[in-house]
Every structure is written in C-alpha cells, then in structure tokens.
Amino acid sequence: MNSHSYLAKELFEKGYNCSQSVFAAFCDVTGLDFETALKLSSSFGGGMGRLREVCGAVTAMFMIAGMKYGYTSPQNDELKAEHYKLVQMLAFKFQEHNGSYICRELLGLDGADDPVPETRTEKYYQIRPCSGLVEYAAELMDELIKNKLISLALK
C-alpha cells in the first residue's frame, strides 16, 4: 500500500465519502487545498449523491486525471479523445479488478438510496467493500501517474 492509498483508506474510515477520500488523498498532486478538495468531491459519494451510479472512488480518479492531464481547448479534438481514452482505461481497469464501476452493482443494491447516509459503525465497515475500493482507486491513480512519468522520461 502506498501513501495515497493508505491516506484514501484512512480518510474513508474517518467518515469521508468514497469520492472525497480518493480525491483529497491526492491534494499533493492536484495542488488543491484539502478543504477545497473535500467540497469539490462531496457531491459524488454514494455513486453521485447516493444515486448509486458511477462509484465515487472512480469519479475521484476521473477528477484527478482531469486536474493532472485534462485538456482546456474545446477545439482540440485530438487532446479530448486522448483524455477520454485515459478516463475509459481507468474505468475499465477498475471494472476488471472489482466487477463493475457502478456503485449499486459494487454494493449489490437495486438503485438510488435514501439521501441520508448510513451511520458508520464497525459492522458497516465489515459489510461494505468501499474501503478496499478507495484504496484500489488510489493505487490505480498512482500507477497511472508513475507510468506517465516514466513515458515522459523515455521521450
């Protein structure tokens, strides 16, 4: 476990949502302060506000990828396509490892959930895979960043 994955898991176990846990663990990479990172990612927990859509840990990976490698010109279709390819690769790697990147599928739920979050108890952490999911998402991001740095060094 590296420092980002350790921090992401630790943040989740302190009560932050899955998206906040991964995104805030990478403040050193994104350059955002911790509070801004928490606010920016707060809407994406529970598969986007407990709608149980795309896993918040996955959404956080996308946001980190955007901060680090995103495009800014709406006319540059080549960079846009390159970035979307990167986002899809992250989603598919996460899916390959975990069976899905959709929150409700990862948790075995039917659909949207009550907007009131569950109380975090020892039992909650025993039955939810989320600690491991945020840990894996952070590992995947570190792998991506490391590989991008290696490919830049080889150019």
pLDDT tens per residue, range 62-117:
999 999 999 999 999 999 999 999 999 999 999 999 999 999 999 999 877 788 88
The distance of Cα 93 from the centroid of its chain, to the nearest Å, equals 12
What is the model's pLDDT at position 102?
Answer: 98
What is the model's pLDDT at position 155?
Answer: 53
DSSP single-letter state for residue 102: B
Average pLDDT, integer, range 52-56: 97
Q: Among all chains, which residue has been given the structure tokens 């590992």?
A: 139
What is the model's pLDDT at position 113?
Answer: 78
Domains of the chain: which residue ranges?
Answer: 3-154
* Residue 137, CB-side half-sphere exposure with 13 Å CA sphere: 35
What is the model's pLDDT at position 25?
Answer: 98
Which amino acid is it at 143?
Answer: E
pLDDT band at 14; cut points 50, 70, 90: very high
Residue 49 scores a pLDDT above 80: yes
For 128-142, what is each residue's pLDDT tens digit? 999 999 999 999 999
Query: The whole model's pTM is what?
Result: 0.94
Backbone angles phi, psi at 118, to 5 degrees: -70, 150
Which tokens in the block code for residue 15?
């009560």
For 141-155, what is each residue's pLDDT tens digit? 999 999 877 765 565
